């Protein structure tokens, strides 16, 4: 019996590790313009941006700033509502795809900056709101659709850069009324908190909540237990059970992991802005404008690394302990990567932006790993 237990323990201890994200891009559509947003619903991946055509199966297909593909096969789907301006954010719920951006018409109907679409047909719902300003982020949680951006009002109601809508009725939730003094670039909903990142220096007038903060999901009250120190604009955030991960700009860029109380766990410094972060298997994947990762936190003018560096061109991966991994698929371009997402259905990692190659192979504006 003891021999059997010993053999069983040896088998379990030498079992194959969880599948890692590879450097090689998988089959997926590519696009003729910038990809700004990615969202998931079941086995469908939704993509938004400034593109007007998608390439798949050796052909080009009209896709006016919105497209969708099958997450299992990579095949472009027929879903093709049109938007007359750039789509900057996407969020999904059962029976709905929410889109936000610079448009004024979607699927042939008048919609100003935000709309709700059917997830399989090219039809639009009665949900109708209008913004004074520009939306940048959407997230769903607690029976609401949360919106962040640079705006001053929603459908005539004063809402400063943040707003929420009931998923059931589509109405603006007038009780949720937090405000920032600058742009909100990114949102994350976890439990009873909404995390927000951006260029703001106050939340609800509190100057200790600069660039990265959390508010109550129901009341909008500032969470004073989450107190991170952030010295540069936050471009994206991701949250899991261990903490909050931020992609920032500044003198060079940084990827920073915080505990749920806001204490810094680790940070990595790059020679250019980080603009996107997502989590997969306990690893933080980061995208941006950078070409190198600094060996220390010291950097100089234009983000140059002062104590040495290693190449990571527009994409990098960092372990839960803050160690840089060997993952290095290398996207090209000046802007590089704008958005990253992790597909819950397949575990694939999606990258979108302005790049045209991955590892020297042609992959215009979108790649799946």
Domain ranges across the chain: 27-128
Asked if 193 contacts 215 with a C-beta cutoff of 8 angstroms, the reply is: yes
Q: Residue 12: its pLDDT value, please?
A: 30
Residue 358 exposed, middle or buried by CB count within 10 Å (0-12, 13-18, 19+): buried
Number of Cβ atoms within 10 Å of the Cβ of 337: 27
Kindly tell me the sign of the dihedral angle through the C-alpha atoms of 335, 336, 341, 343. Answer: positive
Element (H, E) at 10: helix 2-13
How is domain 27-128 classified at the CATH fold level? Lipocalin (2.40.128)
Q: What is the dihedral of CA 289, 291, 296, 297, to 10 degrees?
A: -20
Q: What is the pTM of this model?
A: 0.93
Asked if 194 contacts 215 with a C-beta cutoff of 8 angstroms, the reply is: yes
Tell me: pLDDT of 8 over 60. no
pLDDT band at 20 (very low <50, low <70, confident <90, very high): low
By percentage, how much of the chain surpasses pLDDT 70?
95
Tell me: pLDDT of 9 over 70. no
Rounded Cα–Cα distance for residues 130 and 139 (Å): 18
User: What helix, strand, coil percent values describe the chain, rounded to 5?
Assistant: 5, 50, 50
Write the pLDDT tens digit of every residue in 85-111: 999 999 999 999 999 999 999 999 999
Q: Residue 136: its pLDDT value, please?
A: 98
Q: Which is it for strands 193-198 and 212-216: parallel, antiparallel or unpaired?
A: antiparallel
Write the pLDDT tens digit of every residue in 184-214: 999 999 999 999 999 999 999 999 999 999 9
Residues contacting residue 237 through CB under 8 Å, at least 6 positions apart: 186, 187, 188, 195, 196, 197, 212, 244, 245, 246, 247, 277
């Amino acid at each position: 019996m003891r021999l059997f237990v010993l053999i069983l323990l040896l088998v379990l201890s030498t079992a194959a590790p969880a599948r890692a994200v590879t450097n090689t891009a998988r089959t997926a559509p590519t696009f003729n313009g910038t990809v700004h947003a990615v969202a998931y619903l079941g086995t469908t991946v939704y993509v938004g941006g400034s593109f007007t055509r998608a390439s798949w199966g050796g052909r080009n297909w009209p896709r006016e700033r919105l497209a969708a593909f099958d997450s299992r096969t990579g095949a472009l789907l027929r879903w093709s509502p049109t938007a007359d301006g750039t789509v900057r954010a996407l969020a999904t719920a059962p029976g709905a795809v929410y889109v936000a951006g610079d448009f004024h018409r979607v699927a042939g109907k008048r919609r100003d900056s935000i709309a709700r679409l059917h997830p399989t047909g090219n039809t639009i719902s009665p949900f109708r709101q209008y913004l004074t300003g520009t939306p940048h982020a959407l997230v769903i949680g607690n029976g609401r659709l949360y919106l962040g951006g640079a705006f001053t009002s929603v459908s005539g109601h004063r809402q400063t850069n943040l707003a929420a809508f009931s998923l059931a009725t589509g109405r603006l939730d007038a009780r949720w009324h937090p405000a920032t003094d600058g742009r909100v670039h990114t949102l994350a909903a976890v439990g009873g908190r909404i995390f927000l990142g951006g260029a703001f220096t106050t939340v609800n007038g509190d100057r200790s909540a600069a660039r990265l903060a959390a508010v109550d999901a129901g009341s909008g009250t500032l969470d004073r237990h989450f107190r991170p120190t952030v010295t540069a604009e936050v471009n994206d955030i991701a949250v899991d059970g261990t903490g909050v991960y931020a992609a920032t700009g500044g003198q060079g860029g940084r990827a920073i992991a915080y505990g749920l109380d806001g204490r810094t766990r680790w940070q990595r410094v790059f020679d250019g802005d980080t603009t996107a972060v997502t989590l997969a298997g306990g690893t933080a994947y980061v995208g941006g404008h950078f070409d190198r990762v600094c060996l220390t936190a010291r950097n100089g003018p234009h983000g140059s690394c002062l104590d040495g560096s290693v190449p990571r061109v527009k994409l990098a991966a960092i372990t839960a302990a803050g160690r840089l991994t060997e993952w290095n698929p290398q996207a090209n371009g000046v802007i590089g990567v704008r958005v990253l997402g992790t597909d819950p259905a397949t575990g694939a990692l999606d990258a979108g932006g302005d790049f045209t190659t991955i590892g020297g192979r042609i992959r215009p504006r979108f790649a799946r790993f």
